[in-house]
Amino acid sequence: MPQALQLAFVLDPLPGLKAYKDSSVAMMREAAARGHAVHAIAREALTWRDGVVAARAQPLELRDGDHDWYTAGAATVQALDAFDAVVMRQDPPFDFEYVTATWLLERAVAGGARVFNDPRAIRDHSEKLAITEFDAFTATTLVARDGDDLQAFIDELGDVVLKPLDGMGGSQIFRVRRDDPNRNVIIETLTHEGARTVMAQRYLPAITDGDKRVLILGGEVVPYALARIPKAGETRGNLAAGGRGVAMPLTAREREIAEALAPVLWARGLMVVGLDVIGGHLTEINVTSPTCFVEIAAQTGFSVAGLFVDKLEQACA
């Protein structure tokens, strides 16, 4: 039995977490079930003074159920290096405050704290642009802000998807065909009249079979993916956009992609990674707060949260 750990989770406000599906809640419940002490920290509570990064941390008592799933004790200010591990699970938007949090957490690492995912790696890995490092696995992609470049890409491919680089949950994703009468205004809107860079990708008809979420935990590939299948009349599979989640074993191609990326990303301190794969093509590398733990576990019996805590215990040994 591993020694009991003191764990801190940097989270969105606790009352807003949906315990029935939230991966962070699943992580904390699994850790508590193993006898580890779990604390919650709000991102805005992070401070630096005299070389020490600290925060108000609330000890949590975790329970089953969708409501009244925790009791929070009195918050106390603690240095982050007093914890055995700090788990960064704050959801985007990846705005300046998020970047500031990574800077503060990076100073905590310099002072001896263990932080997962590594704050510098989070900051350096744009969840959209990170795929450009692994372009052997991607669909035809263009990153640009000039309208003429995007128009030429649409003309060449005929059917593309346009998305902002800082979106999440399927927000502001457009499918644009060559004959779309709204293509000009879509480009103008997404690029803010040429002031913002966006990503364009070849439309993949395999989206009808699901946008697959493939999880990598501590360099180990979870053997099941969650296929997020779009609802009728929709091209986005994101659960936040109404997609339906169906767990299924990895295909040979999905495993090939995940196994190629796993050691590279774990070497950078990215313990929890969520790849998005459509039709055997890598479309995103999610590192801020990847989800789908609960759905995969419920449908397959594979404890994703259990594997996460295994990796956390190993990293703290």
Burial 116-128 (b: 16+ CB within 10 A, else e): bbbbbbbbebbbb
Q: Which of 81, 106, 276, 295 is catalytic?
A: 276
Among the listed residues 213, 238, 254, 311, the single catalytic one is: 213
Query: Euclidean distance between the first and final Cα of the chain, in Å?
Result: 12
Catalytic entry in 89, 114, 228, 311: 228
Q: Which candidate in 29, 43, 89, 163 is catalytic?
A: 163
Phi-psi bin for 121: left (phi > 0), alpha (psi -120 to 50), beta? alpha
Q: Which DSSP symbol is given to 66? A: S
Query: CA 249, CA 228: separation in Å to the nearest integer?
Result: 14
**Cα–Cα distance, 2 to 86 (Å, whole number):** 17
Query: Contact at 8 Å (CB) between 90 and 11?
Result: yes
172 DSSP 8-state letter = T
Q: Which residues contact 110 (CB under 8 A, 6 or more apart)?
A: none
Beta bridge mates, 268 = none
Catalytic, out of 29, 114, 183, 236: 236
Catalytic residue among 84, 211, 286, 295: 286
Active-site entry in 128, 183, 212, 311: 128
Q: Is 207 left (phi over 0), alpha (psi -120 to 50) or beta?
A: alpha
Work out the angle at residue 206's Cα, subtended by the Cα atoms of residues 200 and 208, and round it to the nearest 5 degrees: 105
Instruction: Name the DSSP letter for residue 138.
Output: B
Task: Mark whether 29 is an active-site residue.
Answer: no
Structure tokens at 15: 């009352």
Residue 177: count of CB within 10 angstroms of its CB: 13
Active site residue 284: yes
**286 carries an active-site annotation:** yes
Would residue 276 show up in a list of annotated catalytic residues for this protein?
A: yes
**What single-letter amino acid sits at 194?**
G
**Residue 236 annotated among the catalytic residues of the structure:** yes
Q: Which two tokens stand for residue 93?
A: 């938007």
Catalytic site residues?
A: 128, 163, 213, 228, 236, 276, 284, 286
